[in-house]
């Protein structure tokens, strides 16, 4: 009887303790929140601009927009605290356009480089409008 209990209870007890340890850090850092926010804004904006242009799939446009949002966030993360809080619209739009054009070239959508750049510029502009803390 003792062996039966050990064989049935110990694995479930170990699994529960491992799950508890991995779920302890439930609140992400503030920087992670900002990256996820910009990735989400980028994905939604690029899906909308792709639908308006009638180009690309929803999933492909969301992926390109997410990468573009992360690039805009990364470019602002390299700046000082003052400049991070007061974002530069030209930088956000430029980084968005460049990142989206590059992502399109990497994913095999290089025939629409100008359209990808326009989508990325829209992503950069949307991120700037929604996250500028002036």
What does the pLDDT look like over 52-65, one tens digit per residue? Answer: 988 888 888 899 99
pTM over 0.85: no
Residues 79 and 41: their CA atoms lie apart, in Å, by 20
Nearest residue to 60 via CA among 12, 4, 116? 116
Q: What is the pLDDT of residues 25-74, one digit of tens each?
A: 555 555 667 889 999 999 999 999 988 988 888 888 899 999 999 999 88
| Average pLDDT value for the chain | 78
Read off the tokens for 54: 């009638």
- CA–CA separation, 54 vs 52, rounded Å? 5
d(CA 58, CA 74): 24
Closest CA to 114 of 101, 99, 96: 101
Q: Could you tell me which residue, 5 or 67, shows the higher pLDDT?
A: 67
């Amino acid at each position: 009887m003792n062996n039966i209990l050990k064989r049935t209870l110990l694995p479930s007890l170990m699994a529960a303790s491992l799950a508890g340890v991995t779920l302890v850090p439930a609140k992400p850092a503030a920087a992670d929140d900002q990256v996820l926010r910009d990735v989400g804004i980028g994905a939604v904006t690029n899906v909308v601009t792709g639908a308006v242009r009638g180009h690309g799939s929803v999933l492909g446009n969301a992926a390109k927009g997410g990468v573009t949002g992360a690039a805009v966030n990364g470019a602002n993360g390299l700046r000082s605290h003052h400049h991070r809080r007061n974002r530069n619209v030209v930088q956000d739009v430029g980084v968005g356009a460049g990142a989206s054009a590059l992502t399109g070239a990497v994913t095999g959508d290089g025939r629409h480089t100008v359209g990808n750049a326009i989508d990325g510029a829209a992503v950069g502009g949307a991120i700037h409008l929604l996250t500028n803390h002036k």
